Amino acid sequence: MSPEVSLREAYGHALVEMGKENPDIVVLDADLSKSTMTQYFAKEFPGRFFDCGIAEQNMMGIAAGLAASGKIPFASSFAVFVPGRCFDQIRMSIAYSRFNVKLVVTHGGISVGEDGVSNQSVEDLSLICSLPGLTVIVPADAIEAVQAVKAVAAYEGPCYVRLCRPKLPLVNDNDYHFNLGRAVTMRQGKDVTIIAIGTMVVAALEAANGLQQEGIDCGVLNMSTLKPLDEAAIIQVATSCGAIVTAEEHLEHGGLGSIVAQVVARHRPVPMEFVAIKDTYAESGKAGELLQKYGLTAKDIKQAVHTVLKRKLSASAT
Amino acid sequence: MPESGEGLKANLNIASGAKPLSVKDMEAIARKIRCHIIAMTGKAGSGHPGGSLSAVEIVTALYFGLLRHNPKDPHWPDRDRFILSKGHAAPLLYAALAECGYFPVEELSTLRQINSRLQGHTDRILTPGVEVSTGSLGQGLSFAVGVALAGRLNLQAYRVYVLLGDGECDEGQVWEAAMAASHFKVDNLVAIVDNNGLQIDGWNRDVMNLEPFNKKWQAFGWQVIDVDGNNLSELISAFNQAKSVKGQPTVVIAHTIKGKGVSFMENKVDFHGTAPTPAEVEIALKGLE
């Protein structure tokens, strides 16, 4: 297993690097700069850093105002406090008004751990993907996180990038190149493809390796850009494999699984299974314990693959 | 920072001459704007005449007296900004923008109709001159703080004016923004509260008491100026006074009359969100002649 690297740390340092190159980059936080790692930018460029205090809704408006006069604002907080607490502010002042605001959130999913439900974010992707005009990205490791952050800085329009709290093993090489709006084929497979995002990409790769031992040829697609969605990549694996499993650290409702299922249902109906949090809140615990209890491990993905393959087989038998 | 030549030229565009408009000229424009509001909402059969009429002098003083702006170039980077936080007063803003020349006056009659650029509440993308889409209350002041901060960072001399409703100040976000504006010491920012005393469910004091209103703003670190908000001279002098305030934002509490200028609408909450009937339009326009 490759070394584990923090996506938040990578984000914090990337901000400093970008800040040196582009004086229009400004950063906002809501009293969480030591957790979102915007603190490095704050130290380097105090005049371009705005701590808005514990007032996220106001931060959204200030970010929009800065963007309106040509700045490129990066506004950060925990995932749960951004689309959840600020939905209407993002909708009116950022998405509908089409301002060039970059929302980079940390602590997505339940791997937040011991802080429990109030700090865990299981609905954010459903909420944010519902807003017309927003670009949504969920990087799978620190390498992709840095590139995604740079890509959204270069892109004109409102963006949402979701990072997680724990360090993650690297799943990409240093020569990896992130393409906004393009799914990444991590592994080709002809029996079934796992489409995963964020923390679940590494679990999907582990599952695919294990399934290979059982003689199942399993592909893995990293759908890091959730919006705009790479529909062609989904249709392609639906066609070539005839079975899909999605995996995400998010509620089953409204996230990756729902979004992929819509494309599959319309263009190429094939059996699907969904590895996600079932209609429930999680609880306090260690990240690993939570992922296990709420069914978000490589083992759960393997089980889902077996289930979907059974359905695929019975469908072809009839 | 000195005014750029371009800025002066833009201002002249509005003043249509070397001399700034007299208060009397502005009163005539205010009357015209009132007529537009009545005609537009009457034609649309819906909309918010009451809170549009109350703020006519505020918007007239700004667009025809204070703002450096250029209707031919709505995105001119050095323009002074006007942000309509109380987005339901869209008919008022549209009337002022049309009278300035941002779009043809004839277009006002398309308000709220399908395929129109003039939405029920303001839309930044569709309507030239609109700075941000509003209509969900409480958000404009936060936006204005961001615009003011950007001006400071960019070393631009523009000033930022944002119009709030008094009922809008029920929203907690207004006070988050009020706190931030004074924390960041943005003195290029002026908030104006259209203090007409009424909101949909009744008088402010009965629905959600705002008092002591001035003291609240003072406690949040703002310079507070009280004016008769339907008096152009008082407004202009308040806005000029605000220019010399350093190190803190200014709020102009504009005491206004809801429905001002139309006898049967004045202080009538029923005309907050109800358009006049054709017969009422006729009476109102006659009264404004």
Which of the following is catalytic: A4, A21, A56, A231? Answer: A56
A18: closest CA of chain B, how far (Å): 17
Q: How far apart are CA A19 and CA A22, in angstroms?
A: 5
Residue B53 tokens read as 């009429």
Contact B216, B251 (CB under 8 A): no
Determine the pLDDT at residue B5: 40
CATH of A4-169, one of 3.90.1150.10, 3.20.20.120, 3.40.50.970, 3.10.310.30: 3.40.50.970
- Looking at residue B19, what is its pLDDT? 67
Cα separation, A317 vs B2, in Å, equals: 81
With beta carbons less than 8 A apart as the criterion, state whether B173 and B125 touch. no
Domain housing B129? 22-288
pLDDT given at position B3: 41
pLDDT exceeds 90 at position B14: no
Look up the pTM and report it: 0.96
Give the separation between CA A248 and CA A275, rounded to whole angstroms: 6
Q: The tokens of A78 are what?
A: 């925990």
How far apart CA B57 and CA B230 sit, in angstroms, is 5
- DSSP structural state of residue A125: H
Facing residue for B150 by CB, picked from A55, A57, A71: A71
Per-residue model confidence as pLDDT tens digits over B85-106: 999 999 999 999 999 999 999 9
- What pLDDT, on a 0 to 100 scale, did the predictor assign at position A173? 95
Q: Which residue has the tokens 């800065």?
A: A66
Residue pLDDT tens, chain A, 318 long: 688 999 999 999 999 999 999 999 999 999 999 999 999 999 999 999 999 999 999 999 999 999 999 999 999 999 999 999 999 999 999 999 999 999 999 999 999 999 999 999 999 999 999 999 999 999 999 999 999 999 999 999 999 999 999 999 999 999 999 999 999 999 999 999 999 999 999 999 999 999 999 999 999 999 999 999 999 999 999 999 999 999 999 999 999 999 999 999 999 999 999 999 999 999 999 999 999 999 999 999 999 999 999 999 998 876
Q: What is the C-alpha separation between B180 and B100, in angstroms, rounded?
A: 33
* Smallest Cα distance from A55 to chain B, Å: 6
- Is A184-317 the same fold as A4-169? yes
The average confidence (pLDDT) of chain B is 94
Looking up residue B133, the CATH number of its domain turns out to be 3.40.50.970
pLDDT tens track for B211-265:
999 999 999 999 999 999 999 999 999 999 999 999 999 999 999 999 999 999 9
CATH class entry, domain A184-317 = alpha beta
For residue range A168-207, what is the model confidence (pLDDT) as tens digits?
A: 999 999 999 999 999 999 999 999 999 999 999 999 999 9
Q: Around Cβ B155, how many Cβ atoms within 10 Å?
A: 7
User: Is some CB atom of chain A closer than 8 A to the CB atom of B1?
Assistant: no
A53-98 pLDDT per residue, tens: 999 999 999 999 999 999 999 999 999 999 999 999 999 999 999 9
Map out the domains of chain A as residue ranges.
Answer: 4-169, 184-317
Structure tokens belonging to residue A299: 């083992």
Three-state DSSP string of chain B: CCCCHHHHHHHHHHHCCCCCCCHHHHHHHHHHHHHHHHHHHHHHCCCCHHHHHCCHHHHHHHHHHHCCCCCCCCCCCCCCEEEECCHHHHHHHHHHHHHHCCCCHHHHHHCCCCCCCCCCCCCCCCCCCCCCCCCCCCCHHHHHHHHHHHHHHCCCCCCEEEEEECHHHHCHHHHHHHHHHHHCCCCCEEEEEEECCEECCEEHHHHCCCCCHHHHHHHCCCEEEEEECCCHHHHHHHHHHHHCCCCCCEEEEEECCCCCCCCCCCCCHHHCCCCCCHHHHHHHHHHHC
Interchain CB distance below 8 Å, A96 and B143: no
Contact assignment for A63 to B144 by CB distance below 8 Å: no
**Domains identified in chain B, total number:** 1
Determine how β-strand A225-227 pairs with β-strand A135-137: antiparallel
Give me the torsion for CA of A186, A188, A191, A196, rounded to 10°.
Answer: 20
Contact of B13 with B75, CB cutoff 8 Å: no
Q: Is A86 on the interface with B (CB under 8 A)?
A: no
Average pLDDT, chain A: 97
Q: Is residue B1 part of a domain?
A: no
A56 classed as catalytic: yes
Give residue B117's identity as a one-letter amino acid code.
R
Q: A65 vs B146: CB contact, 8 Å cut-off?
A: yes
Please give the ipTM for the structure prediction: 0.96
CA distance A67 to chain B (A): 8
User: Could you tell me if A311 lies within 8 Å of chain B, comparing CB atoms?
Assistant: no
